[in-house]
Each structure stands twice: as C-alpha cells, then as structure tokens.
Structure 1
Amino acid sequence: MSYSGFEVSSTVGSTSRRIFSKKSNLPVIVLSACAVMAACCFFSQGRLLSTMASVRRGATGISGMRAPSFRNHHPNPVRGLTSCQANGLPIDLKGKKAFVAGVADDQGFAWAISKCLVEAGADVSLGIWVPALGIFKKSMQMGKFDESRKLSDGSLMDFEKLYPLDAVFDTPEDFPEEIATNKRYAGESDWTISEVANLVEKDIGKIDILVHSLANGPEVRNPLLETSRKGYLAAQSASAYSLVSMVQKFGPIMNEGGSVLSLTYDASNKVVPGYGGGMSSAKASLESDTRTLAYEAGRKHKIRVNTVFAGPFGSRPARAIGFIERVINYSYKNAPIEKELSAMEVGQTAGFLLSPLAFAITGQVVYVDNGLSPMGLSFDSPTLKAEEEQTG
C-alpha cells in the first residue's frame, strides 16, 4: 500500500469597504478576508515558531524534501516556500496532539504537514504503513532524513510516537490469512484502524488533530475501461473509505474543536488520463465524504473536517504513476503563478486549516495549486506559442 499526498483547495474572495476612524477621520480600507489570507502565511520569519515548539526534538534523522526540478525549462523561476515560515500571522499549537497517517518518507505532503505542525508547537505522532515502518525507522536512525528534519531553531524534528498502520483494515477480524502471515507484517501487531486508535488514546490521551494522507490504487496505471472490480473497490477502500473509518474510530478520542484534514487531487472533478484504476472516483468520493463527515462529526464530536486540493508535486507515489514531470511542467507554464509547487506551501495551508484560526471553516475543499484549477485556457501559454511557431 502506498501513500500519496494529493491536495485540496478553496478560494477566498475579499471585498473591501471604506470606513473612517473616529479619532482621525482618515479612511481605512477593511478587507473582509484579510484575516484568513494572512493566516495562510502564518509562520513569522526569524522569530517563527521557535517560541512555540514544544515537541520533543531528537538527534536521529530523516532526509530532504525536494520535488523534481524543472527549472531547466524555466530560466527565471519564482521560488516557492521551502520551510514552514513566511511573514504573517503565527499559529500557536502548543499542547495540541496530532496524529498524521500516511508519512512514508520525507518527500511528500504528509511530511511537510507534520513539520509545520511541529514548528507550531504540536506533539505529532505518525501512523506508517506496516511494511514501510522498518525502513522509516532505519532511515531515521541512520540520519538520512536529518536535513529535512531541521527546524527553524536549528534543532531536529522528532515524533511523539510511531505506530504501524494499515488503513485498509478496520479491525483484526478484517484482514485475511495471507496478510496475517505475510513476512512484511511480521513482528508488528495492533495495526488496524480501531487498534491504533485505542493505542493512541492509551498512550497519549485525546488528540486535537487528525491528518489523512492515504491513497492507493493497485491498478492506477489502467484506464478506467480496463480496471477490474477488485482494483476499483481497492482504490475506494484505501483512498476514500479509510477517511470514513478513521473519523469513526478517532472521532471519539478527539477533543472538541479538533480538526481533521485529508488530501485530494484534480482528477476528482476533471479527466486526467493516466490516473486510472478507479483513483479519480476515489478522490471524488473523498471530497463528497468530507462534506458529509463535516456535518455528522461536527454535530456528534464538535470537530471540523476539510480536505486540501494540492497541485502537481513530485512525491514518491506521484513519480510511481509515471507522468508527473509532464504535469508539473504543464502547471508551471499555465498556472497564474509561474512556479513549482512547494510541499511546504501545502503544509502551511494545512497548518492554518488545522488551527483555531480556521475554526469556522469545515466541509471545504481548499485549493493550493498556484491557481491552476480555475484556468480554462491560457493564451499566452508557451505550449500555444510553440504551436503557433510551428504552424507559422
């Protein structure tokens, strides 16, 4: 089972009105969305969250998070954020406990989200796919992740607890014998969703933040017309129902005012050839379930549920699909903001949505894609210019 961080996004419109100060009678422009927009850049530079970080920081490591670079195509790139800091409104998550499911290495959105939560002061525990847990721990111990573990104050990010997790299974009764006897699962136990939720409650008590960065489609390379029922349902189970199950099992151990976040992708509402095997349907299900879960979990547990719609990024799962470089290059050439998407930009937005600053936001798909999603056709696109030159 592989994890991927595909993202969501929502647009915030801002309207202005002119009012006058009682003292000076000078006009003041008030932006209705200024607080939200400022919050999206919540990490203040320099002072950043060094005063907020309360997580335990260790000396063992995890590696750097870099997407494939396409700057050879773009001689004057606009650089995205590479760390959890920017000028803006700081977020204080001191004392908050987070569980992030789907970190497999230091290259994806789940890692970036975890790092931004740590920078803000949260205690972060991870749920890692069972066969990947040993590799992850070894990489930590060998210092392979040290560069990307560096926090703004120079210390190394560490995690509260690491849990084996296979989110395809809700209870021990669900997994078949071949999984129980699989050598990749040997030596690990209590890794179904319900068991992990019980362990988290026992080990650290109630949590405030739940992040779902899980996706897997065994037939993702197959066109939909060539996808089997088994492959289609497997994609739905791992990528969409896993969110439902996690909110079912973790909702009761979340504090009121807590927040859940998942990651989605453009194929949920557009045709993306090559992203097959039922994965596009799974992402559409995830977004629909986000809205329903926001209502039901909001009423039952007093928690929020949102999803982040991220633009193309060269994470390990995305590279496995095979065409991510072309998609990233297309985004660079056609999005309003001509730059590569940074994982940390998604991490910052997630940090905002998971914080009290976003307390009135729930059931939303929030877009973080350099503005590509609303574009229909960019007539100044280098792609069209190249075609014009060829046709003369």
Structure 2
Amino acid sequence: MTLNGKRGLVFGIANQDSIAYGCARAFRREGADLAITYLNAKAEPYVRPLAEKLDATIIEPLDLRIPGQIEAVFDRVRTEWGRLDFLVHSVAFSPKEDLLGRLVDSSFAGFSLAMDISCHSFVRMARLAEPLMDRGGSLVTMSYLGAERVIPAYGMMGPVKAALEACTRYMAAELGGKGIRVNAISPGPIKTRAASGVKNFETTLDYARQQTPLKHMADIDDVGNLAAFLVGDGARAITGEVCYVDGGYNILGA
C-alpha cells in the first residue's frame, strides 16, 4: 500500500512530539507530497525544520484566529498543486482558565473559541478542500475518548470533541457522493505539548497504561500509521468512523 502521487495538507504540527508530526512522517514514508502549516513566527523555528526534513513542498503560517489565513493556505495549494488528496486536522485549543475549570463554570467566550478552533475549523477546511478533491479524497481529524465518556479533568473539551465527532459523521454523509471520505482518529493519552495543559494528565496517562489490554499506549507513530491507512486507497470504503488507536483502552468500562 502506498501514497505515491498523493498530495496532503497537515495542520497542527507544533514540535517533534505532535500527533500531526507522527502523521506527516507516516505519509512521507509512504510517498506522499506534503503541505505543512505552523501557527506563527514563534512556532516557525520548531516546525519549519521538521517540514523541511519531510521535503514539504508548501510551508505556510496558519493562525485560525486571523481572518483570511486559512483561505491563503488553500489558495497556495490550488496554485501550486491544483488538487488535494487528503488533509489532517490535528488542531485543538481552549483558554486555560476554562480548560482547568468545571464545564458549568466555562465562559461563553472560552467555550465559543474552543468550539471554533477545535471543531468548526474542520468544517471550514472541508469546505475549502471540497473543490480541490474533484477525484475524491480523505479528511481526517483527531478526537479523544472524552467525547463519549466523562474523563476527569477533560472538562469543556469533552463536549467540544463530541461535536467534532458529530461533524465527522454529517460531513461524511454530505461529501460521500463526491468520493470524499471523512473519519476521526481517537488516540489514547499521548504526551504532547497540548496534553500537558490538561490537569493531572500524568495520572490519567499512568492509569490508562496500567488498565489498557495491551499494557502499552499508542504513540504518535501508531496514530500516523492509522492515518496513512485511512487516507490511502485501502480505506476507500471507510467513512464516518471514529477509529480508536489506544491499546484497547476504549473497550473497558468507565
């Protein structure tokens, strides 16, 4: 199975420990050409060397809070490539004060921002990708078990990820007629920079590692291998799914 000749856009690389980087590395290993984004000038020194190591054809800034930047990324893809075969949305954000508190205490502004960056941005990406996927394609996002089960300290992001999974199903139904598949990957706890903002994350990680049937958790390369399968032709009949890669942790009771 190969991704030779396919072109993909990867959102969400922050550093070498990012889930998105694990995905990009797997895509490149299988022969795909990549476009990669970085958040801002502060993040660029961490991301650009990784993108260059992967021979990324396109490297662009993307702060989803800045109007026009996401359109600029897709405009460059359209100009240089003319088409797009797949994209990975590995982006999530919540104001720290809302993330660390109770859901019932979350602010309107914080909840709205988390929903916009973590969920609706995937919808916006799908809308921009659709005309570039006239021969079909694959859209993949990243979720978490907290979307369907109460995970201590995950708080407001649980409902946000639940909305993201619902959007995945609805977009799969809407875009399926054009041969565009939409799936979510739900990894277990992985030690990334984003995860470090979750209260008591190390405790959650240790507990999951002890309880999971395989006795080890997935890493970013495990997620990347699954993503490479989902964007490839071998997964051409798979859409609207939430695919777990967590050592089996999700099959256990609460």
Q: 1:209 aligns with which of 67, 81, 86?
A: 86
CA distance 1:137–1:289, change in 2 (3 Å): closer
User: Distance in 2 between the 1:106 and 1:137 partners?
Assistant: 8
Q: Does 1:305 align with 2:209?
A: no
**Which of 1 and 2 has greater Rg?**
1
Q: CA separation in 2, counterparts of 1:131 and 1:251?
A: 29
The answer (yes or no) to whether the contact 1:208–1:255 under 8 Å persists in 2 is no
Could you tell me how far 1:129 is from its partner in structure 2? 1.3
**Residue ranges of structure 1 left out of the alignment (5+ in a row):** 1-90, 150-155, 173-190, 378-392
Structure 1 match to 2:106: 227
Check conservation: 1:92, 1:121, Cα contact below 8 A.
yes
Change (3 A) 1:157 1:194: closer
Q: Which residue of 2 aligns with 1:102?
A: 12
Paired AA for residue 184 in structure 2: T
How many angstroms apart in 2 are the aligned matches of 1:134 and 1:258? 28
SS in 2 for 1:207: coil
Distance in 1 between residues matched to 2:163 and 2:77, nearest whole Å: 27
Contact 1:104–1:132 at 8 Å: present in 2 too?
no
The 3-state SS of whatever aligns with 1:99 is: strand
Amino acid at match of 1:167: L
SS in 1 for 2:238: coil
Alignment of 1:70-149 (within 5 A): 91-136=1-46, 140=49
In the alignment, the residues of structure 1 paired with residue 173 and residue 41 of structure 2 have an alpha-carbon distance, to the nearest angstrom, of 34
TM-score normalised to structure 2 length: 0.93
Which residue of the other structure, out of 310, 314, 331, is the alignment partner of 2:208?
331
Matched, 1:244 2:154: no
Q: Which residue of 2 is the match for residue 161 of structure 1? A: 58
- Does structure 1 residue 266 correspond to structure 2 residue 176? no
| Secondary structure at the counterpart of residue 316 of structure 1 | coil
* 8 Å CA contact 2:188, 2:217 repeated in 1: no
**2:85 aligned counterpart, secondary structure:** strand
Q: State the 1:205 CA deviation.
A: 1.8
Deviations 1:357-385 (A, max 9, x none): 000000000011100111017xxxxxxxx
Q: Cα–Cα, structure 1 residues 254 and 132, in superposed 2: closer, same or farther, change >3 Å?
A: farther
Instruction: Give CA deviations for 1:275-302 in whole Å, capped at 9, x if unaligned.
Output: 12x3111100000000000011222x32
SS at match of 1:126: strand
SS at match of 1:236: helix
Aligned-pair identity (%): 32
Which residue, 196, 212, 215 being the options, matches 1:319? Answer: 196
Question: Could you tell me how far apart the structure 2 residues matched to 1:132 and 1:212 are?
Answer: 21
Equivalence for 2:222: 345
CA distance in 2, matches of 1:273, 1:338: 21
Deviations 1:295-318 (A, max 9, x none): 11222x321000001101101110
Letter of the 1:330 counterpart: Y
Q: Does residue 136 of structure 2 align to residue 257 of structure 1?
A: yes
* Structure 1 residues 205-242: Cα deviation after superposition (integer angstroms, max 9, x where no partner): 20101110010011211211221111111110010000
1:198 is the counterpart of 2:198: no
> After the TM superposition, which of the residue ranges 289-298 and 124-133 deviates more from structure 2?
124-133
- Cα offset for 1:134? 2.7
Q: Name the CA distance, whole Å, in 1 between partners of 2:212 and 2:198.
A: 22
CA distance in 2 between counterparts of 1:131 and 1:238 reads 19
TM-score, normalising length: structure 1 = 0.61
Q: Is the 8 A contact 1:125 1:162 kept in 2?
A: yes
For the 8 Å contact 1:133–1:164, the answer to whether it is kept is no
Name the CA distance, whole Å, in 1 between partners of 2:104 and 2:83: 44
Task: Confirm or deny that 1:373 pairs with 2:232.
Answer: no
Q: Distance in 2 between matches of 1:267 and 1:291?
A: 17
Going by fraction, where is helix more abundant, 1 or 2? 2
Assess if the C-alpha contact under 8 Å between 1:257 and 1:359 holds in 2: no
Aligned residues: 252
C-alpha displacement at 1:250, in angstroms? 1.4
